[in-house]
Structure 1
Amino acid sequence: MKKKFICVLIIMIILLSSTTYGAEDFSQETRAVLLGDFESGEIFYEYNIDAQIEIASLTKLMTYLLAMEHVDSGKVSLDDIVTISHTASRTPGSSLKLREGEELTLRTLLDSIMIVSANDSCIAIAEHISGSADAFTKLMNDKAQEIGLANTVYLNPNGYPLKNGVQNMMTTRELFELSRYVISKYPQILETTKINKMLMPSRGYDRDNTNPLLSLISNVDGLKTGFTDEAGYCLISTVEIKEDENNTKPFRLIGIVMGTKTEEIRKNVSKELLEYGLENYSYKQILNKDTSIKKIDILNAKISKVDIYPQKDLNLLVKKGEIIKQEIKLEKFLKAPLKAGDKVGQVHVLDKGGESYIIDLHTKVSVQKISLFDRIYNYFQSKKES
């Protein structure tokens, strides 16, 4: 009886000490949640992702994007010296502690908005590129429409609330699409967002990266935090999954957690969201172009069984326990002779989401037609064996 009581007590302690978030329920104490694949855009988990909500400093992804596009076009350079205006130096909220008249490179200002979420740097960048924050904000909204972010509204370049309390708005789905767009176009952003600390000894500046997951999960390298009273605590996190024995192709997860009440909840939900993805999703090699998928009989062939192969490899991102269906469809009236590489059919692969992948099948060797002599020989051999 005593042993039974101890076992029950241990189980209760484990349950009480474990996280309050269910394995597939991250909606508690959040306004919206999304987990998806960077490359394909497939969404693995979603909660309230089409509601238009405040985005706080997640705004800075668009500020970064526009600045980098102006660098690409040659209109500005990362080495440009930016003179800090009175307006920029008076910007409230998280900051690089810019001083009026101070001179910094555009590169440094861009680093600061992604590492320490510097609001003042956003204004300095906007003024350098467009002359004013308002003119730059118009470019932000134009860019949002250009790339299909129909529910996005920017009021300023940094996400800080206006005096009347209104602020920049997006849906979580659009934040996911914007994140994918920025990383695709400027992957170097991840070299910046994984830096743990922004150190500027000459200015007496020393601030940690605002992303709480950098030190908690291996290979987390981005992306952006945000907070206002209305938006709550927000985080877009990114993690790279390397190729290994359990994963046949590198890929990247993007997790988005919006509107938690505390930094601790934001950190815990974001951590569990990424860990759920890491534990449950991986690339599996469904087809290997060098591995025979089946042996088939070919009419009039000299050999009785012929190996057929997929024309190319197929790796699919699958959830643990997901069943991938395959169906082989051979060409009608297949007969020898065949040359190496001749198409003999197709394999249709169907994933759980209903997406179909069609890969041609071929032989890797020539298949000769059976001769009359071989037919006679085979006939007598079969009689002899029987």
Structure 2
Amino acid sequence: MKNKKIISLLLSLILILAPMPALAANQNKIVGLDDNVTSYIIGNEKTGDIYYEKNADESLPMASLSKLMTYLLTKEAIDEGKISPDQEVTVSKEAAKYNSWEYSALGLEEGETFTVKELLEGLIVASGNDCAYQLAVTVEDSETEFARNMTMKASELGLNSQIYYNASGVETENGQENSSSARDLFLLTKHIIEKYPEILEYGSVREITDPRRNINVESTVPLIGEIPGVDGLKTGTTDQAGACLISTADMKKIDDKDDFRTIGVVMGADQKDTRNSVMSDLIYYVSRYYNLESVLDENVAVESIKTNTVSQGYVDVFPSENVNIILKDGEKAAIKYDIKNKIKAPIKAGEVLGEAYVSYEDEEYKVPLVAKSDFKEASMFSRIMRSSEDAADFLLKVLIAR
């Protein structure tokens, strides 16, 4: 155990210290990333902002990445009360057919019983084609009907590139395969994580073991434990689709400044090693060239406004909230302040004294500017003295100007 921990630590250090993907001088491309890969995209899990992409809108065979939609429809069926997680399901002859060397499978045998929860685990962790089929015919009367609902759900979510023929993503007898663009898979993953964040818990399951059923299957999901922060999510491979991968990552685990999460999609790689290498490059590219920056801090005044009406002679103006934006290296957010022309005492803490407008790329934020504390009205003597000083300063500037 001790040796394993040392090896794991050394691998993490190597990955962290390894050179970042090189950028071509004037093209803003990661050198070598396009080789032997058809499409990819990586973006922010929460906001949907895209950091890097290639052919992201091209519809391609997606193989077992299809199982994410199977997961979504099964979870929704549970929410609707059609099925329950603890419901026991008897394995059909058709589902058991996938338990062979040709397919990735959990190892379902005809006549055995599994709970829906166990089938969901096998679906994501082991990429079980047997689990996909059995879930489909548990939720609906047939896999054909389930696949029709998968395509309808995609349309409902605006994922117009997606077409489903079955629940697993295997090639049909007619040579058809489920298809999607990388962008739509990114959006589907984002939707699932927002609605069912527990899907990420499967990333910590590295092996499914059940001696009673003679099951011992390792997770198909790569990079977990190899790249800090990677915690999911799904693989897919067929002859038509090539090697495909969706990875989720907590970027803060790579760099403490990167307090955000990403979703990466790679499609059409010539082999699994290429797929994994490209995903690794994408994740480290984002870590190296994007940072979460504090643009407005509610504890840092943006301006100090001179006004003779308050006791101390000025009012510090603060943003009402923090604004943190993920910025690319060398770029800054534009900030404009619109502060009231006349600010008079008394002023209450929290009183709005203006607005800040923050813009970056296509995003714009409007943030109220406020006083942090109460300000009492200045005495008449203080006002007269300040007004006299202001008048003297003005006359002096006029004389100097002449």
Alignment of 1:55-204 (within 5 A): 55-91=62-98, 92-204=102-214
- How far is 1:202 from its partner? 2.0
1:356 is aligned to 2:364: yes
- The residue aligned with 2:339 is 330
Contact 2:251–2:261, Cα closer than 8 Å, also in 1: yes
- The residue aligned with 1:372 is 380
One-letter code of the match for 1:124? Answer: Q
Alignment of 1:204-243 (within 5 A): 204-242=214-252
- How far is 1:376 from its partner? 4.5
Q: Distance in 2 between matches of 1:309 and 1:186?
A: 37
User: How many residues end up aligned between the 2 structures?
Assistant: 368
- How far is 1:244 from its partner? 10
Deviation larger for 18-27 or 219-228 = 18-27
Aligned with 1:272 (options 276, 281, 297): 281
- The residue aligned with 1:259 is 268
CA RMSD, 1 decimal: 2.6
TM-score by length of 2: 0.85
Q: Distance in 2 between matches of 1:307 and 1:245?
A: 34
Deviations 1:323-363 (A, max 9, x none): 12222111133333333322111111122x14221111111
Contact 2:255–2:287, Cα closer than 8 Å, also in 1: no
TM-score by length of 1: 0.88
One-letter code of the match for 1:342? Answer: E
One-letter code of the match for 2:319? Answer: P
Aligned with 2:47 (options 40, 49, 74): 40
Aligned with 2:351 (options 338, 342, 350): 342
- The residue aligned with 2:317 is 308
Unaligned runs of at least 5 residues, structure 1 = 1-16
Q: Distance in 2 between matches of 1:284 and 1:244?
A: 16
Q: Distance in 2 between matches of 1:68 and 1:98?
A: 21
- CA change 1:20–1:276 in 2 (3 A) is closer
- CA change 1:86–1:364 in 2 (3 A) is same
One-letter code of the match for 1:198? Answer: I
- The residue aligned with 1:285 is 294
Q: Distance in 2 between matches of 1:335 and 1:258?
A: 61
Q: Distance in 2 between matches of 1:221 and 1:383?
A: 66
Contact 2:21–2:285, Cα closer than 8 Å, also in 1: no
One-letter code of the match for 2:297? Answer: N
Q: Distance in 2 between matches of 1:373 and 1:260?
A: 79
Deviations 1:294-320 (A, max 9, x none): 111125333332211111111112223
Q: Distance in 1 between matches of 2:387 and 2:260?
A: 55
- CA change 1:88–1:337 in 2 (3 A) is same
Q: Distance in 2 between matches of 1:126 and 1:367?
A: 66
Contact 1:21–1:28, Cα closer than 8 Å, also in 2: no
Aligned with 1:295 (options 276, 290, 304): 304
- How far is 1:19 from its partner? 8.8
Instruction: Name the SS for the 2:250 alignment partner.
Output: strand
Q: Distance in 2 between matches of 1:369 and 1:157?
A: 71
Q: Distance in 2 between matches of 1:369 and 1:19?
A: 58
Deviations 1:30-75 (A, max 9, x none): 1101010010011111110111110000000000001111111111
- CA change 1:166–1:339 in 2 (3 A) is same
Instruction: Name the SS for the 1:188 alignment partner.
Output: helix
- How far is 1:22 from its partner? 4.9
Contact 2:203–2:224, Cα closer than 8 Å, also in 1: no
- CA change 1:244–1:293 in 2 (3 A) is farther
Q: Distance in 1 between matches of 2:209 and 2:284?
A: 30
Contact 1:27–1:33, Cα closer than 8 Å, also in 2: no
Contact 1:297–1:304, Cα closer than 8 Å, also in 2: yes
- How far is 1:281 from its partner? 2.3
- The residue aligned with 1:10 is none
- CA change 1:19–1:383 in 2 (3 A) is closer
